[in-house]
Structure formats: structure tokens, C-alpha cells
Structure 1
Amino acid sequence: MKEFFFGFVYPIKSIGFYLKHPKLVLYSIVPLIINIIIYGTIFIISYNYLTDFSSKITGSGIVDAAWWQELLNILLLIVFFLLVLVICYLAFVTIGNLVTAPFNENISRYTEMIITNKEIEYNVGFWKDAYLSVKAEGLKIIFYLSILIPIFLLNLLPVIGSVLSTSLGILFSFFFNALDFLDYPMTRKFFTLRKKINTVTSRKMLSMGFGCCVFFMMFVPVINVLLKPVCVSAGTALFFEKKYISNN
């Protein structure tokens, strides 16, 4: 449990580390703008569509709508708002990561230089670096969906389906967020996806604690956009501080 707690508070502690290094903040400007555009667009489109849909099916949009129609509309809006958060989260950890991968790589690389106090021997060139970063994100997305879709289908089971699906979905999200943000230094070392997964699971409680905190950070609007670069830096720092690589 000590490892879980250490991993959980690590992203929070990393905010101070991140702000102490202006170059990390500078590297974050472009991905920050991209993430604002992606998240904002998906949020606005999804929310507007669902609010219009709610108004139509409850009839609350008419002039002489009954009180129960207004109440039903409010309840549906709450449900739809939570649904929008889920949609935005899924888009944020897939589309957002894919598009910003090369920029997040710069944040991770500079963090590694600070933590290890060494120059990084990784001279693959800008375009190959971008290709490797995007390829790594693409493989993770395929892995993510290949697990998430079967978990979602558990909802079809009677009685326990929804509880089982929700529980497994949350636990898998903890794991995937750990994999996602610990990934950058592993990609630079040309780890296969299988080796990345084995590396993350070699410190199960530490990884799950870290992934748990990151999950909540990535789920909350505005906070997720602002703290995503911090999580990239935190994942790299944790990877070297806790010597994940020595376990493989």
C-alpha cells in the first residue's frame, strides 16, 4: 500500500518540479494549445447535441412545458454531462495523445536529462522521432480499445454486467494511464509494447497508484488540459527515480 500511495501523490508533487523548470513549460505550449482545441471542440459538440436531444425527448423546450418535463430534462442533463466527460476522456487519451506525441516526447526527454543529469544519446532525427512517437501511441490505442471494448460488452450481462464492466473499466484505466505516461522513456529505448506492459506491471502497486491519480486528473475538464504536460514529466521522472528499467 505504501507503493500505491507513493505513486498516487507523485503527479501532484511533480507540479512543483515542473514549474521550477521554465523550459518544460515552454515545451508544453504547443501541446497545450492542441489539447485545448481537441478537448474544447469535442466537449462543445457533444454537449450541444445531447442537450438538444434531451430537450426534444422530454418536451421541456416548448413554451407551456410541465414541471415534471423540466425536472426530467434537468436529470437527463446531469446524466448527459457525465456521459460527455466520459466521451471527452476517451478522446483525450486517444486522439489527444496521438496528435501531441512528438511534443510530449520533448517534455519527457528534457525531464530525463534533469533527473539523470546526463545527455541523452538518442539521435534518430526529428521526423523519425515523430514517427516513432506516433507509432507508439497508435499501438497503445489499439491495445486500449482491444481491452476496453470487451469490458464495455460486459454491460450486456444481466444483473452483474454493469457493476463488473464499470469496476474493470476503472481498474484498466488506472493501468493504462500508468502505461501511457511511463511510456516515453521506454519508447526511446525501443521497447516493444509487450515489454512496456511487463515493465509497468513489474511495479504493480506503484504503477496503479500513479495511474489512479493521473486518471482523475485527466477526467476533470480544464484540469486535464493544464496538467497533462505535468503528467508526462511525472511519468518520466518516476520511471527513472524508481528504476523501472532495472526490473527487466
Structure 2
Amino acid sequence: MLQILSGFGFLTGATYPLRVLAVLRRAPRLWSYLAIPILVNVVVGIALYAGLLLPSLRATEELEISLSNRLDSLLVNLPAWLGFLRFLSSGVDFLLDFLLIVLLFLFTGFLLVQFGTLLGAPWYGQLSEKMEELRTGKVEIVEVGIFRDIGRAILFELKKLGLGMAIGIPLLVLNLLPGLGTLMATIGGVTLTATIICLDFLDGPSERRRLSFRKKLSIVLTSLPASAGFSLVCMGLITIPLLNLITIPLCVAGGTLFWCDRVYPKLPKAGSQGKLNKTSGVPNP
């Protein structure tokens, strides 16, 4: 019954960013690991909002005016009995304005996640480690060396880019079909964005165990629908301007909690060769 009420885990997954607040209340020392990531996000956010968001808002406004003028020119010569179409055009204008602004904020928030987590990776890594240690009593790390570690980080970003292109380009083509094609492309675009965001926020504990990209993607898919609830809430949180400077670190911590609760128990027993317990510095039993 609880499974049904929680949407088979969807609603439970959606609560993880908020669960972090309860953990921080019980362990206030963790706030110190949020300070620098928030500062990094402020710097990156200022750059993105000043260099991208404000010019894009002006361009969006010009596009809206142009589309509105074209629509008005089509409606001006309509007979009186079709006058109701003018009211419909006002509704279309409002809906278009809303969708364009939401998509713009979502895109800006998505970029903030990508650049913010990349630049703040060392501090996000520490935050994730502390959350895992608090949740499971230990932190498991497979040591591979700094150069291989950097190579894995670069490869992870390239594979995310490849995934985005492999799915995003067909979606753009599908978007050329009016009506159903646009709807399917929109749903596909949201799903793709949510998947990449989920990969980012679950990456801390996954990368410490040096899982492959395919395994990381498999974790996202096999954790459905809980991972969908988690990623969609995170999408909403990173879309809100200024607030996302704070919510991104919360989503990183929430991703670690999600991983510890819903992924870790399903993994093979700890203690595989090369895996270390960081808290004790000895191989796991």
C-alpha cells in the first residue's frame, strides 16, 4: 500500500533534496562543507546571468513581440464573427511567454549545474563523502591515481555530451513536425535533461567506486520511478534564479542520500578487491 501511495517510489525520491535539511539540522557541522560550493555557484551564477540570461531575456522579448505582431496582422482582417480568435491569440501569447521564460531559466540552471559542479568538484566531493559517512558509517573509495582520476572526469563529461547529442539531435528533428512531434520532442527533452541532472547528482558515490558510465546510467534507470521523482524536483530547484545557488549543493547532498538508501543496499557486498574504507583506511571485510 505504501508503494502505491508513494507512486512506487516516485514521491519518495522527490523528497531527498528536502531530507538534506533534516540531516543538516541534526549535524550542523556539515554546513561548513556547503559554504565554498555556494560561493562558487555565486561566482558562476553572476557570470551566467550577466553574460547569458539578461541578453537572452532581451532576445526572447524581441521574438515574442515579432510573433505577436505577425499574429495580429493575420487577425486584423478577420470577419467580426471570428473575433473570439483575438482572445485566443492573447492566451497563446501568454503561454508562449511563459514557456520561453521557463525554458530559458531551465537552460541557465542546467549550465549552472554543469559549470558549478565542475569547478566546485573538490568541495562537492567532500560534502558527498561526509554525507555517505554519516548515512552508512563509512566511505568506500577505489584509488586510481590523480591522472586517471582527471581522465575519468573528462571522459564522464564527454560521454554525457555524447548522450545528449545522440538523443537531442533526433529530438530537434522530431520538433519540426507540428503538433504531436513538438509534444514528443518536449517530453523527450525534459526526460533527457532530467537524466543528465540525475547522473550529475548521483555521481559522487558512484565515482568514488569508479563505476563505468554505463553502470551509472543503469543505476538511474533501474532506480525508476524514484530517480525520476528526485531528478524532476532537482530540475525545478535549479530553475529558480538565485535560489538555485543554494539548492544545487542540497541536490548534491540529496543525491548521496538517495544513493545510500536506494542504490547501496542493492550493490554486491562491499569488500571487493581494491575497495577501501576511508574511515578506517583498511580493506572492507
TM-score (norm 2): 0.70
1:139 pairs, out of 134, 146, 159, with: 159
Provide the residue aligned with 2:19 in structure 1. Answer: 13
Code of the residue aligned with 1:199 in structure 2: it is I
- 164, 174, 186: which one pairs with 2:194? 174
Let me know the Cα RMSD of the aligned residues.
3.1
Correspondence for 2:232: 212
User: What runs of 5+ residues in structure 1 fail to find an aligned partner?
Assistant: 60-70
Contact kept in structure 1, 2:219 and 2:263, CA below 8 Å? no
Task: Name the one with the larger helix percent.
Answer: 1
Question: Which of 184, 204, 219 matches 1:184?
Answer: 204
Quote the residue 2:107 is aligned against.
87
Contact 1:155–1:165 (CA under 8 A) maintained in structure 2: yes
Q: Report how far residue 238 of structure 1 moved.
A: 1.5
Equivalent in 158, 176, 179 of residue 178 of structure 2: 158
User: 1:179–1:197: 8 Å Cα contact kept in structure 2?
Assistant: yes
Q: What is the rounded CA distance, in whole Å, between the counterparts of 2:233 and 2:35 in structure 1?
A: 23
CA distance in 2, matches of 1:192, 1:243: 15
Match of 1:236 in 2: 256
Q: How do 1:37-76 residues align onto structure 2 when only pairs under 5 Å count?
A: 37-50=43-56, 52-53=58-59, 54=61
**Identity, % of aligned positions:** 25
Q: Which has the larger radius of gyration?
A: 2
Q: CA deviation at 1:166?
A: 0.9
Instruction: Work out whether residues 171 and 189 of structure 2, in 8 Å CA contact, stay in contact via their aligned partners in 1.
Output: yes
In 1: Cα distance, 2:63 partner to 2:152 partner: 47
Amino acid at match of 2:202: L
Q: Mark the runs of 5 or more structure 2 residues left unpaired by the alignment.
A: 1-6, 67-89, 269-285
TM-superposed deviation, 1:145: 4.1
Matching residue within 127, 138, 146 for 1:118:
138
Which secondary structure does the structure 1 equivalent of 2:225 belong to? helix
What residue identity is the alignment partner of 2:214? R
For 1:24 and 1:125, locate their aligned partners in 2 and report how far apart those are by CA, in whole Å: 27
**Structure 1 residue 56 displacement after superposition:** 10
| Corresponding position of 1:28 | 34
| Deviations 1:84-140, CA, capped at 9 Å, x for gaps | 313302312322332222321111111111111125455556776566445434433
Change (3 A) 1:118 1:47: closer
Q: 1:214 to 1:102 in 2, by over 3 A?
A: same
Q: Residue 102 of structure 1 contacts residue 133 of structure 1 at CA under 8 Å; is this kept in 2?
A: no
TM-score, length basis structure 1? 0.79
**Letter of the aligned partner of 2:159 in structure 1?**
L
Determine if the alignment matches structure 1 residue 197 to structure 2 residue 217. yes
